[in-house]
Structures are given as C-alpha cells and as structure tokens.
Structure 1
Amino acid sequence: MIDSDLFALPRDVREGLIAARARDRRRSGGKLRVQVGADWYPILSYDDAGFEVAPDVAPKLRGLVEIHEGPSCLRTALIVAGEPGRRAVRYEFKRSTPVRDTAPVDYERATEAPAGYLGAT
C-alpha cells in the first residue's frame, strides 16, 4: 500500500498500519541502522538532513555516529538530538561526511590520464 493511499482509510486503521510498519521495522532490524560505539539501532527514516529512530529503542544519542545500510557504511555524521515525538526521535546532522572507497588525493588528477601503461615485451 502506498503512503498516499493511507489517507483514504479511517483514522484508527491508518494509525494501526503505521504502528505495525514501525513494529516490523524494529523486529527485522531494517536495512538502515546507526552505530554508536559498539551499539546498533535501526533507523525508521533517513534523509540528507538527518534520521529518525524509535524512542523506545535508542537512548539519547549525540556525537559522532556511523550510518550503515546492510554491511556497508554510508556516512559518518556528527548529530544533535531533536524533539522526541510519539513515533520517533529525530536526529539532525550537524556535519555529515559520505564514506569514500578511495583515499583522498592532495593533487589535481588529469582528466585525460591513461588507465595504465604497457611494459616492454
């Protein structure tokens, strides 16, 4: 069911579906999760400005965290806690850095550089 279709349902049914989705996400662990030290918490929603975690799952989080999708790390971020809500606690990124798979370079790379060199045979 698409989220926009939820508005066509009665209010109590809609709230029950939303609660069931949140419960299923917490049970399965979700694909997205936040790592704080050695602890992991499932993420309910995620965007470029921050993420949401269920209030009964995670304690007050703050400081440096890592956002993971499955086994791969997406970004490291410095977070600050937002207002806790009924459904989730929103954490905003104060600073967010995507994880790179290559080391940063301190020189300009040529755009027309060869891919490799052939040795003498």
Structure 2
Amino acid sequence: MTTYISKEISAELDAARIAGLKKTSRLRVEFGDNTFKILRLWKDGFTVEAETTPQLRGLVDIYDGARHLYQCLIIADEEEAGEMRYEFKRSTAAADTAPLDFYRPPDAPIALLGYED
C-alpha cells in the first residue's frame, strides 16, 4: 500500500509546521539592517523560512532575544519543505567583554582599594 499526499495538502502541512516553529522560536538572524526568524538551529547551521527570507550569504549575527550568541560566516545549502538551510563556514561565540591578552589567575583581586590616613 502506498501513501499519496497531494501537493496542495503537502504545502498546507509545511506551512502549518513552519508557523508553529516561528511561534516558538526566539532565535533570529541579522543580515545588515534586516532581521529574520530562525526556525531551527544546530551545531553546523540553521534554517529560515524560504518564502519570506531573501538569499543570505556572508557575515551574519545570531541572537536569542536581545542576547548576541554568534557571529557567523554562512553559505546557502538547500531548500527543503519550505525551509532554507544554511551551513556555517565559521561560527564565533559572542562575548560581553573584550578578550584578555594576558593570563589572569583565578584568585586575582577584582580591584585595589585605597587606604587614607
């Protein structure tokens, strides 16, 4: 026995699945001045809605709400079931502070307090 689903029903199922992913995802990708919702994110890439998102390429920033997670260099992989998949060529975790160029011991004082007579 074979299962056959018409193209119209398949498109409606994909649209419902994508709408559910968009509703639950807080992740977004920024490309220039534009922001697009990320449907799924994994170690090597992410997906966005293919219908409403233009072709992305190059350096992008990934956010979870207002928190900057990664700065990534991406390439387009393939479109499948209404989702466009992108792969990371490079993914760098964003940090709140500048990196130190020296070793800081774990027991180092945070600040030096002055003493006046």
Q: TM-score range by the shorter chain?
A: 0.7 to 0.9
| 8 Å Cα contact 1:65-1:77 kept in structure 2 | yes
Higher helix share: 1
Higher strand share: 2
Which amino acid letter does the alignment assign opposite residue 85 of structure 1? E
The structural deviation recorded for 1:47 is 1.2
Aligned with residue 90 of structure 1, among 85, 92, 115: 85
Which amino acid letter does the alignment assign opposite residue 72 of structure 1? R
Q: Distance between the aligned counterparts of 2:53 and 2:64, measured in 1?
A: 18
Q: Which runs of 4+ in 1 moved over 3 A?
A: 15-19
Paired residue total: 108
Q: Please give the residue correspondences for 1:51-90 in structure 2 after superposition, counting only pairs within 5 Å.
A: 51-90=46-85
Which amino acid letter does the alignment assign opposite residue 18 of structure 2? A
1:23 aligns with 2:12: no
| TM-score calculated relative to the size of structure 2 | 0.79
Secondary structure of the residue aligned to 1:22 is: helix
| TM-score calculated relative to the size of structure 1 | 0.77
Q: Distance between the aligned counterparts of 1:115 and 1:73, measured in 2?
A: 26
Which amino acid letter does the alignment assign opposite residue 99 of structure 1? A
The 1:30/1:91 distance shift into structure 2, 3 A limit, reads: same
The structural deviation recorded for 1:115 is 2.5
Larger radius of gyration: 2
Q: Which runs of 5+ in 1 are unaligned?
A: 1-11
